[in-house]
Structures are given as structure tokens and as C-alpha cells.
Structure 1
Amino acid sequence: MKKKFLKSLIVLLGLCLLAGALPGAMMAAGVPSVSYRTHVQNDGWQDFVTDGTMSGTAGRSLRLEGIEVKLDAPDYDLGITYQTHIQNIGWEAETERGWKSNGDTSGTEGLSYRLEAIQINLTGADAGDFDVYYQVHAQNMGWLGWAKNGESSGTAGYSYRLEGIHIVIVPKGGNPPAGTVDQQVPFVERKSVPGNLMIQTTTSDFNDNVMGLDRVEIAANSGDGAIKLQAGHQSGVYTSNVFNTSPFTKAVLSWDTDTPAGTLVQVEARVCENAVDANGQSTENWSDWLSFGQWGTTINRSSGIGVTDSPLAKMEVDTLVVKNGQTANKIQYRVILHSGATGVTPTVQLIAVALRNANPGQGINKVFSDNPDLSNLAVLNVPQLSQMVREPSIADSICSPTSVAMMLNYYGTAVQPETAAWGAYDYGAEEFGNWPFNTAYAASYGRLAYVDYSTIEGLKREIAGGHPVAVAVAYKNSTGVSADLPVVDGAPIRSTYGHLIVVCGFTSENGTEYIIINDPAAASNGGVRVRYRLDQFTAAWAESGNITYIIH
């Protein structure tokens, strides 16, 4: 009877909360009490406080290092669990540490690691009758808005310390207490790039990872997402949230767009390295926004438009390079859309970010989400096109668009190499080999296309799915050639420091593995199909950092 009576009180309490009144006697009688304490830098463990009282500090720049939370709810089947995002460790639930509960310590003691975010949940049969609200004071942010029931509160991924916290339990549907809020909503948690590749293409990708929408909107586009100009505007900017990454030295961004006549897009990125300020606190050192140039199918598209140099990083035509052998570990992108006429908008359907760490022994592992059968791979019947029999004035410079043309023709889109060449031409660098310009050109035919830093397994996965792959290689065709390059026996070029070819399959003969290639440098269409020893190909591909065009 006592429990039933108390549950009836909860309904009344909820009405009181919604009306802005909560008698103290009723709080004591009907709502479970939460108590908590924090371990504070220099101060150690504070005393327990209860029901919305601040634990920690505000204005003293001291980090929280640990927290303990427990309930006083003898009349309810109710428990509390929590986890924190810890410097150098991450979310506890993603490690062997796991969720904490009912007074256990979350965080560390004696390691001087800051707490960066927290999640709290209620458990038990009566958990549905209550909400647990929590609010944190974060470095550089102040008091964030209230989070509840497992939401992230804090700045996970930004390396900002938590300094104080309020926790309160209210009847289901009630409101948290009024009080100081410097940021009206809980801060957006930074997501991490899995391995070395991130692809943003769905509506949720663009919506969930946005930091700013300036005269642009996210619209459904044939089942996927699309960034486009708002009605009545001729320019706008989409700015992504910041993404955590493995340490990298190079980044290539690529994009799939639709650019009607008179429209263009400009893709930019900025990168960050962690640093330590004069007080020993972690801080962020950001580059300027660096431009991959302006792209459109009806303009003189060009790299080198916009900022291309910054103290931390620079642009090398189609590649963002961190300077002086340093590494960055965060990246953010933005897309500038422009139209020459109201009512006509470019759309951006895909942004891909490919990362590479060129420092010895620091490569970034590739992450795959499935485990397909990669045995007995077919050799794909990719049309054979030689660049050398095309327009003589450009024939020796169009390996990249010729490779793209072979792949488009394989998918049933009849495109000549010269058409692809001028469709992807970089008028700023005066070259046909700009990597994201070539994949953007392929995407203009409705294909999904992007640039990747891949692996042999990645190539086999593409072949298994029925997709040829273009890759960049550097080689010489004999040990007698003086160039300091890997040898590829039987290659049509005496030596090349940069060349695009198409991977069509794999085979093995007499214990030797081979890769089946369409090499556009062959003297005739009939000579394009060749096979190279896999070990020799692997060395030649590595010279480019394993650059790959993925076109589906």
C-alpha cells in the first residue's frame, strides 16, 4: 500500500513541477534522492551533496577526475548507472572498465586525467516513473543545458575538462530546476573517423554532424542526403562538426555534386593538432580553412582558389598536407555553394575524407565492417582504352581521366577519354590528374565516387562487389632504368612518378600472385590488358600512398 500511495503522489508531483511549484515536504515524501561527490584536481574528494546541489567547482579552472553517484530510494525498484568520458581512455563503457553503478567510482584517482563528459541512466522496474537530469560546467563553455536519461553531457572529443555538475531526479515528464545555463543545449559530441576514411552521404550524416547551416538546408535526395541553397539565396555555407581522427599527415577530400549551369561548390577543410599551453593545459591549434578549389561541370574549375597555405598545413593541389612532419588529429570541413541565379542551386550528395599518416611506422589501419569471401575473384571485363591513341596534344597526360572513362564505360556510360579529360581538367594547376576533380566528374553521371587511401584487401573487396578500381602508381619497367622507383616487369612506360591504372582482378599461377590491370599507357587498345606481379604492383602503388578512385 505504501508503494502504491507513493506512486500516486508522483502524478501529483509531476503536475506541481509542470506548474512551476514543488513543495519541499512533497519532494521529501515522494521523489527518490540522488547524492553524489566528485574528485577535484588539487582538492581531492569532496563531501557528498544531494538533489541538484553543485559538486566540483566553477571559476577555478580545476578539472573533475572522478565521480560517485548513488540513490536513496528505499521504496522503489530503482538504481542508477553512469559512465564518464576520460582523458586518454574515452568512454568507460567502450573499455573493460564498463558502466559504474550505485556509488562506484567512475573516472580515475591519482592519474590526473580529466573527465570530459558523463552519461547517467536510471535502472530497475520503476525507472520509467522518473527522469534523471544532469548539467555540467565545462571548460571554455560554462554551464551547459540539462541532459537526461543517458544523453551525453560535456564535451567528449574536444579535450575540455568538466569542472562542476548538478544531478537531480524528477517525476517523469517534469522539468529540471531553473538556474544558470551558459549554453542552452548539451554540447554536440564529436564523432571519430573510423580508420582512415569517413563518408557523409545520408540525410542523417549531414544533419547529425552539422555545426552551421548558413543559407543552406539538408534535403532528401533520392533516398540519400543533399546540401542545397535555401530558397531565395544564391550563396550559402554548410559547416560540419569537428571529427576526431587518428594522427594523420595528409588528407584528401572528395565530393559528389550536381552543379547546373551557373553554379559551383568550393570544398574546404581545416585541421587541428593538440598542444599544451603555458599552464600545462591541453589546447587546440587550428589551421586556417584551406581550399580544394572550386568545382562545377560548366565552369573553368580550378584548384588554388581560396586560402592554400597556413602555419600548420598547406594545400598541394588536391592534397592537404600537415607541415614539417607533424600530425593533426582533428578535421572539419565546410562546403560553400554558389549560384548565379535565384532558384537554381547546386547540391552536394557526398563528402568523403581520406586520411594518411606518411610518417614511418605510423600508418592508419583501414576499418571494414563486414567479412566477405575474397577467394576465387572474377576478372572484370572492363573496356580497354589506351590514352596513347587519343588526341595527340594531350595523350601523354590523360591517364587519370582515361582510367575514369574505362570505369564509366564498364558501367554502361559511353564516355570518350578526351571528354573525361576536359570534364575533369584543373584550370588552376593546368593538369588532368586532380584526384577529387576526376571522381567528381564520374559522380556527375550519377555514380557514387570518391578518393580513398586503400589496401590490397580493399581492392579485393571492390572486385568481389563487381567494381573495378583506379589506382595511382609510380614505377620503372626495368632494373636498368636509373630512376629510384619500384620495378614493374612488363609495364609500358619506361619510368613514371605518377600514373593511373585500373585494377580488374587477381589471379595466381605456379605459386605467384598477379593483379590484372588495364594500363592506359599501352600503345594500343589491344595492349591495355596486362598482368603485374602483385608484390611489384604493391610497391609501385605504395609510392602514391595507395591512392584509389572508388566509383560505383
Structure 2
Amino acid sequence: MSRAEQPSRRTVLAVAVAAAVTGTATPAAATARRTPRAADSGRARVRPIEYHGWTTAREWRSGTGQGTRVAAGHRPGLVIGAPAGRSDYTDPHTGTTATWEFATWTTPAHRLAVPATEVVASWNADTPEGTWIQVELGGAYSDGTDTPWYVMGRWASGDQDIKRTSVDGQTDGKSTVWTDTFSIDDASTGLRLAAYRLRLTLYRRPGTRLTPTVWRLGAMGSDVPDRFTVPASTPGLAQELAVPRYSQEIHKGQYPQFDNGGEAWCSPTSSQMIIEYWGGRLTAEQLSWVDPSYADPQVDNAARFTYDYQYEGCGNWPFNAAYAATYPGLQSVVTRLGSLTDLETLVAAGIPAITSQSFLSSELTGAGYGTSGHLMTVIGFTADGDVIANDPASPSDAAVRRVYLRREFENIWLRTKRHNASGAVASGTGGVCYLYFPAHPSPRQRKALAAVGVR
């Protein structure tokens, strides 16, 4: 993506895949992934966002399993017990057909507190070589009819068994899955998703005792009103977290098979900053595949292992969260937040966040670029309440720390509608963020997460 907004290479809900620095020309990024809908009536209303997850042994036992069992311990998870059967899978990205043993688990129906126009699933899992997982969503509409089962991701932490992938072309005429996001096709009709279930399928090579382990499965449902501007919040915190700084731009030209190289790696670069903030490190052996002349090889690794072979990019939201949770002691979710006050609550407890936003160069003072989708890391707030961000669209690691005006940042992050460089109405992410935090949060961290709807 160049400094000016460029046409999308696919039309999908707001994913952040690339950004550019001043004076640098880079490939086009994906456009925002929301379909514009009728504007909200203007009534003041509570921001309707709900994340719900399954993580405890009791919650795992509340679902319906075929061939699965609950693995107890300090971090309970779901594993293959006795496989329910075998099935063939032809990988669309390699053409290879293989037979896999499988087991399935389905959540109880979860009725949304506020019926949703969009749902994003996310998960935390370990998939040893020879295993992988599939996550599906099925739900009930507010008109009493049901959705089909939609594939929300086929995922493995590695890339030797299958190529992790989203699935295009999933629609029933009422809703569509755009890469990683379930979306009501025309929300102006009043149709909403009233309830959903998630179905998890665990796969392994036949005749082995291998198994994936899933520690967290959940989804964020929301009905965010369309708006070009959002209410301003009042500053309430002056604090900065010591988060490592990595630039995506120093990786230009590296491994172009992963979304044209580093200029499109804002999402995995941001992920790696937060992973290392929490102490996540890779061994020399794990990084041995990276050209030794490359600086920050862990960023190349993050790009490779977040890459979605269908989307052809590293900006799949749940794939980034799942990658972070492969590091020992970390868990993650994809959700939405309602204001910078929510981010202040998290930062005060020591939890940074990765935010997704789209903007013109004139809308974010000091950025020096415009973008149709970009991820950056919020690490704190100044005494005036302005946002301190580690922005990977910077020419060097040393230049990554930026201070952005609070009002500008809040609006470009939380809005759902905007005007692009050509003046056409485009979309914004409505407060999407990735949250990475300890598998066993401190009481203060747990309270802060609960305050923004995550437990």
C-alpha cells in the first residue's frame, strides 16, 4: 500500500494488512471488510459488544463431544480421546489429499445479550506436527431461521501438515463469512444473529496418539452502530508500558511468498511486540529457517506462522491471536472495545492492546501515511491523554514509538464509516483489537479484562 489509499485486492470486512512510511511505495492493502449499512438513528445507546469464551473444565464438559475428552490440569483443555471417525481432506493450497482421524465438540447454544450483525471467533490451541483443528459457527437468526455451519478457520500452528486457511464463498443470502468475520448481509432490514454455537473438530494422523489441545474457544458478537464520528472520552491515565519496538518496514522484500514481504506485516509485527512484552522468546533452532542476515528474525517467523493461504495475507485476526497463544504462558482473544477508557483500564493493569484502524494521512497527525487497514500497538497514554503507540509502519525500530492525538486516534479506531482518498464511503473496524495476556492473569489483570468483557 502506498501512502495514498490503493484499491483492494479483495473486498472483505476490515482487516489490517499493510501500511506505509513517508516516502515509501508499497503494495496495496486489503480494503476494510465491512459492508456499509444504514446509519444508526442517532439515539444514544450502549455500545453492544459481547465476548463469550469456553476455558474451564466445567465449561468444556458443558458441550457435546464425539470422541473428545477434557484434559485436566492447571490449564484445562479439550483433546482427542477415542476418535469419532476418519475423513479425507484435500488441501486446496497444495492439492494433497490425506486421511485424518477426527473428534468433534460443540458448545451449548449461546444467546447473545444483544443480537449481533458481526461475529468473530478466536481460539487458543496447541497442534503438534501431524494435527490440526477446524472451527465452525452455526447460529439462529432473529427471524427464527438458522444459519448453515460456517467454517471460521482451518488452523495449525505449523505449515507442514495443512496450509492454514480461511474459506471463501460461504453465504446463505442472509449472512456471509468474510475471511474471519461472520456478517449479516443487510443489517438495515433488522435481521440479527440471536444465538450461536461453535463446533470444534480436532484432527490427527491415523493410528497415532497425537492430539491437538484447545485451551480457549470463544467469539465476539457485536452490533456497532454505523457512524463517521464517535463520542470523545475523557483522559484518565498517564502511563507507558515498556513494550519492545519492531518495524515492519525493515523487512521489505523478505519472504515475498508471505503477502509480499515486510511492508504488509503490520499485524504479525504488532503481535511479536506484545508476545515479547510478555516474555515470549524463540530459540535459535526455531529461527534457523530465517536468513541469518535479516534483523529481527522473529518478525519473519510471525509472518510465516500467521499467514492465511486463502486470504493471501498475514492480517487474519484470529490467526494472529492463535499464533500468540502458541507461546508458553500466553492466551489471547479477538474482541472490540468501546472507548479509549477501555484501553486505559487495560494499560493501567499492564496489558497493552493491538488496534485495527483505517485513515487518510490528514486524519492522524504525525503518521505520515494513509491506510485502508493497519495494526498498531497501544502501549500507554501521555499526561494530556494522547495515545502512545508502537507503530510498525516506521522506517526503523528506533522510530516505532509514536504519540498520536487522542481525539484523532479514538475516532479512526472506533468509527465504522469513513471517506477514503477518492471521497467514497468506506468502512472502519469499529474498535477491533487483539488482547494477549497471561494464561493465569493476576487479580488486577483479571479485573481489568472483566471490565472490558473478557474472562
Q: 2:67 aligns with which of 215, 229, 246?
A: 215
Q: CA deviation at 1:448?
A: 0.6
How many percent identity over aligned positions?
28
Give the one of 29, 32, 57 matched to 1:203.
57
Output the TM-score relative to the length of structure 1.
0.56
- Distance in 2 (CA, whole Å) between partners of 1:534 and 1:306 is 37
CA contact (8 A) 1:303 1:318 kept: no
Give aligned pairs, total: 324
Name the structure 2 match of 1:344.
210
Mapped partners of 1:241, 1:412: distance in 2: 35
Displacement after TM superposition at 1:417 (Å): 1.0
Q: Which position in structure 2 is the counterpart of 1:250?
A: 118
Residue 262 of structure 1 and its aligned partner are, at CA, apart by 1.0
Secondary structure at the counterpart of residue 224 of structure 1: coil
Distance in structure 2 (CA, Å) of the matches to 1:405 and 1:330: 34
Letter in 1 for 2:412: A
The 8 Å contact of residues 117 and 193 in structure 2, kept in 1 or not, is answered as: yes
Partner of 2:247: 386
Residue 345 of structure 1 aligns with an amino acid whose one-letter code is T
| Equivalent residues in 2 for 1:103-252, closer than 5 Å | 196-208=50-62, 210=63, 212-220=64-72, 222-231=73-82, 234-245=101-112, 246-252=114-120
Preserved contact between residue 405 and residue 417 of structure 1 (Cα < 8 Å): yes
What is the aligned counterpart of 1:335 among 200, 208, 226?
Answer: 200
3-state SS, counterpart of residue 310 of structure 1:
coil
Distance 1:213 1:315 in 2: 25
2 CA distance for matches of 1:474 and 1:273? 30
Q: Are 1:489 and 2:368 counterparts?
A: no
Query: 1:400-439 to 2 correspondence within 5 Å?
Result: 400-414=267-281, 416-439=298-321
1:215-264 per-position Cα deviation (integer Å, ceiling 9, x unaligned): 111221x4232111114663111011111111110000000001000111
CA deviation vs aligned residue, 1:114-144 (integer Å, no higher than 9, x gap): xxxxxxxxxxxxxxxxxxxxxxxxxxxxxxx
Deviation, 1:354, is: 0.8
Q: Which amino acid aligns with 2:50?
A: N
**Counterpart for residue 547 of structure 1:** 432
Report the equivalent of 1:303: 165
- Code of the residue aligned with 2:268 in structure 1: it is P
* C-alpha displacement of 1:490: 0.3
515, 529, 534: which one pairs with 2:401?
529
Shift of the alpha carbon at 1:303? Answer: 3.0
Give me the TM-score of the superposition, normalised by structure 2: 0.68
Q: CA deviation at 1:308?
A: 2.2
Alignment-derived partner of residue 100 in structure 1: none
- The Cα shift of 1:525 comes to 1.0
User: Which protein shows a greater Rg?
Assistant: 1
Tell me: CA distance 1:334–1:475, structure 2 relative to 1, closer, same or farther (3 Å). same
Q: Which runs of 5+ in 1 are unaligned?
A: 1-193, 276-283, 362-373, 479-486
Secondary structure, aligned partner of 2:358: strand
> RMSD between aligned alpha carbons?
1.9
Q: Distance in 2 between matches of 1:205 and 1:528?
A: 41
Which position in structure 2 is the counterpart of 1:29?
A: none
**Partner AA of 2:391 in structure 1:** D
Judging by fraction of residues, say which structure has more strand: 1
- Contact between 1:252 and 1:355, CA under 8 Å: does it hold in 2? yes
Query: 1:473 aligns to what?
Result: 357
Unaligned 5+ segments in structure 2 are 1-47, 85-100, 228-234, 283-297, 415-427, 438-455
String of CA shifts for 1:262-305, please: whole Å, max 9, x gaps.
11110000121133xxxxxxxx2110000112100123433344
Structure 1 position 310, deviation (Å): 2.1
Deviations 1:374-422 (A, max 9, x none): 9544200111111000142411110000000111111222352111000
Select which of 432, 439, 448 maps to 2:331: 448
State the SS of the aligned residue for 1:508: coil
CA distance in 1 between partners of 2:402 and 2:49 (Å): 32
